[in-house]
Structures are given as structure tokens and as C-alpha cells.
Amino acid sequence: MISKDLRISTAEYNIMKKKIAILGSTGSIGTQALEVINKLNDKFEVIAISAGNNINLLSKQIVEYKPEYVCVKTKEDCNTLNKKFPNVNVMFGDEGLLKIADLKEIDILLVAVSGKTGLIPTIRAIKNKKDIALANKETLVMAGDIVMSLARENNVKILPVDSEHSAIFQCINNEKNVKHLIITASGGPFLKSAYEEMEHADINETLSHPRWNMGKKITVDSATLMNKGLEVIEAHHLFNFKYEDIKVVIHPQSYVHSAVEYTDGSIIAQIGIPSMHIPIQYALTYPERYEGIETESFDFIKAGKLEFFKPDYEKFPSLKLAIEMGKKGGTCTVCMNAANEEAVFAFLDKKIKFLDIYKITKQISDNYISIPNPTIEQILDEDEKVRIQTKNLITKYKENI
Ligand code: NDP
Ligand code: MG
């Protein structure tokens, strides 16, 4: 029997729980994060969740996780949810996301929205000295210098959710003398396809990723290898590494999630089954580790042969383009990211062909004049400007399809 003095009340117990807000709770990362939280429900309390348009799933999440605050994209959906859940504070739009970033009670903000929507709320939460579990790579691709320097100034942790960056984060583990970062890539669905076959790649083929089940935008980026390019830029900012010291290696089995090479020649890699639950959980529980959803041990014998290849930059030129734009700096990555995103959406809307994604992104990037050391306002303006240019260019491609 427990003595009375050692018992803790529910209120005290809840104080000990980490209080979490999730931007993008209805997406691939968001839903998996809630699965992790469900498994570790004695360690977390969900204070706020947000969705874009999927209010059916969001409603189920409200019932299950009982957040105090909710945000949706439109005022209409906000009104619907307000009527349905009178005891929940329902907000909408970019303002609503900022209100979540302003909540005093949260300990950590998981940024799992896709696209540029994540940037401004992340900056606000950093200024409010909240730790960030960052899945949204666009935040660092668009404004990595600003975001990381704000994080340093405010003593805020940026905990990577992206599996490669979580791997590197674990391999570095606060040690110094790291010489190279080695980022692995599965190679996507067209790794073994001839270039000519990619000419006719349809949406279904492009979305059938061999290893990971993710949102559509990132899955298309994984097929062009643009995703790996975005990840190199992400790693450059997160770990403050020169582009020249970041290597990309194709590893189709996706068991080695990434590695670091130390100056003495030691290479430390993070290995495990390909599951996003693991990096999501580590970002949320850092620096602690707990038994999570994946309880089966990785079996080296079953895994068998692990392969590593040099990326084919000719066949996947998006990877090369992303690294080049990263090296140029300024707003070059803003331009490339916006052009690529619009082109990916156009491909998913069947307006352009698979290989047009690169051609359009390259053409827009080649004609772009970069702004050095941009402010956030300039970044958002450039993003908007490039999206308009890209949409115009897409119209011309559409006429040729
Ligand atoms: P999904 O498309 O599956 O989910 C995106 C989430 O963002 C959904 O909740 C969606 O809401 C919400 N959302 C989209 N647009 C808006 C908007 N304008 N306003 C408010 N909410 C919005 O994406 P993923 O989960 O795959 O990816 C999320 C981020 O994480 C991306 O930046 C991606 O690059 C990164 N990432 C993802 C990985 C993965 O395994 N999926 C791995 C590593 C990084 P709704 O669906 O309700 O419309
Ligand atoms: Mg990744």
C-alpha cells in the first residue's frame, strides 16, 4: 500500500506532464505524433491542435485528446466547430496559429503543418521561449538563418523530427569534432527507373514510395530527390555545417537513417526500422527515452545486405539544384522552395508532367535575383512573387501537355 504522503493528486500529476501544442495534427506527422502521445499518455497533455480542412478527423481528435484550443483554416469551419464543441476555444487562420504559439501554458510546439504556414508561428513560439519539435522543413529552408539565430538568442531548443536530422542529432549528441554529416536517402520510387520512364510517370507511381508513408507534397519531393536537397539545407542550418561538409548517400533499405563522421575517422550512424514514430517521440521526450510504439527490435540478420550508392545527379537534378541554391544563400532557397512547391501542386493537379517539376523550378531559379540577408517580410514577399511567376510559367507548360 502507498503511504498517503507519497500519493499525488491528478492536478499535481498533470503539472508534471509535458504540455504540447500540435500544428497540423491531421497530417501524416500530426496523426503519428498523437499515436506517440497516446502511448505515453502519462507523460503528455495535448493543449492545442490545428488542422487545415480535415475537420472530420479534427473533431475525432478533439473528442479523444480534449485540447483546450483548436485552430482550423477557415472561419466557416471555425463556426461549425464552435457550435459542436462549445467548451473548446476554436480559432481560425494564420491569426489562430499565432494564438496557439502565444499560449503561456505550452512547453513544446510541434510544427507539423506543411509548406510556409509553419514559419511565422514557429518564429513567434521561439520568441516566447517555447521549445520547438520541428517537422516542417520549409521553415528552415525559407528562413534558416533567422530562425536558428532567434533560437540561440532565446535559448530555445529546435528538436528535429525529420528522421535524417533526428539521426544526426542523436549521433552528434552534443559532441564536438564532427567532420562530415552523412545524410541517407532511400532514392524514392524511381531509383531504378530509366530517365525516359520518368517522362511518363503518373501520380500513382510517384506517390508509391517504397519505404515511407507521408503527405503527398513530401512524397513527390522524395521521387524527384528535391526532398533530399531540402534536407541538406535543413541540416546546414540545424547543425551549422558548411554545404561542402554534408554528404548525401543513397541507401535503398532506409535502415541507416543518417550518420556523422568524426575527425578521428569514427563514423557513428543511427540505425533502426523506418518508422516516423521514433524520431517524433525523441523530439517530444528529449532528452529522455521511453519504450514507444515500435517494440520490435531491429534485426540485423533479417535486414541482411545494406547498400550505399552515390546519388545520380544527372537523373535527379533537383538535388543538385537545391544544394546550389543553398550555397548561393540569401533568398535563393525561398525562390527554389516556392517554385518547386507550386510545380508539385501543379503535377498533383495533372497540369504538368513529372519531369516538368524540375524544369519549371530550374527556369524560375535561374532567372532569380537574390536578396542577401533578408528580413522575414522580404522572405514572405519573395515567396509570394515567385509563386505568381511560377503559376504563370505553369500555364505555358499546361498548354503543351
Ligand atoms: P500532410 O500533408 O500529411 O499534413 C499537413 C498538415 O498541415 C495537415 O494537418 C494539414 O491539414 C495542415 N495544413 C496544410 N496546409 C495548411 C494551412 N494552410 N493552414 C493550416 N493547416 C494546414 O504533411 P506531412 O505530415 O507529411 O508533413 C508535414 C511537414 O513535415 C512537412 O513540412 C514535411 O516536409 C515534414 N516532414 C514530413 C515527414 C513525413 O514522414 N510525413 C517526414 C519529415 C518531415 P488538413 O489535412 O486538415 O488540411
Ligand atoms: Mg526526411
Taking the C-alpha atoms of residue 189 and residue 354, their distance in angstroms, rounded to an integer, is: 13
Q: Residue 1 pLDDT > 70, yes or no?
A: no
Question: What's the mean pLDDT in 179-199?
Answer: 95
Is 274 or 3 the better-scoring residue by pLDDT?
274
pTM exceeds 0.85, yes or no: yes
Mean pLDDT over the full length of the chain: 95
Q: How far apart are CA 321 and CA 318, in angstroms?
A: 5
How far away, in angstroms, is 221 Cα from ligand 2 center?
10
> What is the whole-number distance in angstroms between the Cα of residue 27 and the centre of ligand 1?
5
Determine the residue type at 11. Answer: A
The mean pLDDT value for 151-180 works out to 97
Q: Is the pLDDT of residue 400 over 70?
A: no
> Of the residues 78, 218, 220, which should be mutated to test ligand 1's pocket, given the most ligand atoms within 8 Å of the CB?
218
User: Does the pLDDT at position 201 exceed 90?
Assistant: yes
Cα 118 to middle of ligand 1, angstroms? 9
State the average pLDDT over residues 149-168.
98
Q: What is the pLDDT of residue 9?
A: 58
pLDDT at 212: 78
Cα–Cα distance measured from residue 328 to residue 73, given in angstroms and rounded to the nearest whole number:
34
Longest dimension (CA), the chain: 78
Least confident of 35-49, 190-204, 268-282: 190-204
Mean pLDDT of 149-171: 98
Q: What is the H or E stretch that residue 46 is in?
A: strand 44-50
- What was the pLDDT predicted at 198? 94
Residue whose CA lies nearest to ligand 1 atom number 4:
27
User: Dihedral of CA 388/389/390/394: which sign?
Assistant: positive
pLDDT at 3: 44
Share of the chain above pLDDT 90, in %: 92
Is residue 117 in contact with ligand 1, taking CB distance under 6 Å? yes
Greater confidence, 174 or 106? 106
Cis amide linkage into residue 86, ω under 30° from 0? no
* Digit-coded pLDDT (tens) for 25-38: 999 999 999 999 99
pLDDT band at 4 (very low <50, low <70, confident <90, very high): very low
**Taking 90 as the threshold, does the pLDDT of residue 366 lie above it?**
yes
> Is residue 14's pLDDT more than 60?
no
